[in-house]
Amino acid sequence: TPSAVQKIKQLLKDKPEHVGVKVGVRTRGCNGLSYTLEYTKSKGESDEEVVQDGVRVFIEKKAQLTLLGTEMDYVEDKLSSEFVFNNPNIKGTCGCGESFNI
């Protein structure tokens, strides 16, 4: 989303050695999987690259099917600010929202 693009641009402004962010999934939590998001200095050999308004997002190979069709957003409210993944493939989530299953 435009909000996520702006936040990533803001974060990368202070990290000139990084070319974008990498999204992945890890086995974790009470429901199976959770998202990972980290800075990256290069595109991995098997990463899928998505460019949106000049921002480069790399998707790890093992996460590509899990994240197919997912929208990444950045949301701020009075108590928190975070990247949110709107994933149409999710079948269930845990009560705390930390993990999901496909």
In tens digits, what is the pLDDT along the chain, a chain of 102 residues? 999 999 999 999 999 999 999 999 888 766 577 888 999 999 999 999 999 999 999 999 988 888 888 999 999 988 889 898 887 876 666 555 565 566
What pLDDT is recorded for position 4? 94
> Would you list the domain boundaries of the chain?
1-88
> How far is it, in rounded angstroms, from Cα 24 to Cα 66?
9
CA atoms 39, 49, 71, 31: torsion sign: negative
What pLDDT is recorded for position 61? 92
What pLDDT is recorded for position 91? 65
Coil, strand or helix: which one is 91?
Answer: coil
> How far is it, in rounded angstroms, from Cα 24 to Cα 92?
18
85: which residues sit within 8 A by CB, 6+ positions away? 35, 67, 70, 71, 72, 73
What pLDDT is recorded for position 84? 85
Element (H, E) at 99: none
What pLDDT is recorded for position 89? 73
CATH architecture for residues 1-88: Sandwich (2.60)
